[in-house]
Structure 1
């Protein structure tokens, strides 16, 4: 009798488990902004990069998975006029010193875990997202805090974080790898502001 009861409970858990619902990322309403920093001065460069596709999976109104793809050739500097250094910096970033976008035209982030932040306060990140970032053909784990909201028909994900570019073999003017560049060193950290809007 106990075995039958246990089997019934187990089967019920599988039977009534709510299926994941897929939400498609709205490319026009979503954005990715980046910031690069100097190590020994207050200067920085900012820009944008476009998404090519993405989807988010929701189960019981909780984000449980998803992915988004980035068009590396859309990378653009925005803090300088195009004809006054902006275009030159953009092309440098696309080259082999940085992201080698001809050889690696896309990057991919795949969510592997989403954890709710305990006692999250208003206007602060309420989840930690962990996933795999494939950049320049290299896969590494990336974890960042995010604010996630859902109203049943849309899902919004907003995040602001930094990641270490050298883990993806982007080492140009890194003080950790080039000891003779002095004040010309560039920070290993790249700042990202991510805003995703996905709909059913």
Structure 2
């Protein structure tokens, strides 16, 4: 919990800056913009959490970034590539060791993420668009990019709060992901209509706090 608290404080300090990627169609400012630079993702400062829901409840957990680069131009985040270590996947809401282990084994299997065959997942930003009139404490950008899970790549779009300050770039938000697009169909009513109360939602959420430094 200490790591999550420190990460949240660091993210908050960076996101207090009003810097987001601007709409490319907007008029350019009179001041010159510095050449783009690459910031390195700091896995030890960044967090990634997941929640999956089913008819009878839900489960939650964490997973870790392995590495990544964030593209910054001036005080704007313009792109990035992120590598996630699938072997770091954990379930945090089940305290019983045996039950936790069984769910972990299932999530690692071919029914879900095929982690032995696919030890990493990736996300590459393809577009960042500012949200006009966003409040200081609200999401200020929309991120679009290509997500690769189990070797399958699909486009995803989600809102985020982004900022650049004092040599650090930060982004936080929640993405909603349709697992069936990545051939994760186990327990889906879209493919098994008679599954009843054993059904698992097609969508799961990923909440992220990413810190990158020069």
Please, what TM-score do these two structures have when normalized by structure 2? 0.83
Inter-partner Cα distance in structure 1 for 2:89 and 2:96: 13
Inter-partner Cα distance in structure 1 for 2:202 and 2:212: 31
Whether the 8 Å contact between 1:61 and 1:152 is mirrored in structure 2 is no
Please, what TM-score do these two structures have when normalized by structure 1? 0.88
User: The residue matched to 2:166 in structure 1 has which SS?
Assistant: coil
**Partner deviation per Cα, 1:75-114 (whole Å, 9 max, x = no partner):** 1111012514111111110101000001111100001100
User: The residue matched to 1:176 in structure 2 has which SS?
Assistant: coil
Q: 1:171 aligns with which of 185, 195, 199?
A: 185
Instruction: Quote the residue 2:12 is aligned against.
Output: none
1:21-60 to structure 2, matched below 5 A, reads 21-38=37-54, 40-41=55-56, 43-60=57-74
- Matched length: 183
Whether the 8 Å contact between 1:32 and 1:51 is mirrored in structure 2 is yes
Inter-partner Cα distance in structure 1 for 2:108 and 2:64: 14
What stretches of structure 1 move > 6 A for 4+ residues in a row?
A: none
RMSD: 1.2
Relative contact order (C-alpha < 8 Å, sep 6+): which is higher? 2
User: The residue matched to 1:80 in structure 2 has which SS?
Assistant: coil
Q: In the alignment, does 2:109 pair up with 1:87?
A: no
Q: CA deviation at 1:17?
A: 6.0
Instruction: Quote the residue 1:196 is aligned against.
Output: 210
| Unpaired stretches in structure 1, ≥5 consecutive residues | 1-15
Whether the 8 Å contact between 1:173 and 1:186 is mirrored in structure 2 is yes
Which is greater in Rg?
1
Inter-partner Cα distance in structure 1 for 2:201 and 2:193: 13
User: The residue matched to 1:181 in structure 2 has which SS?
Assistant: helix
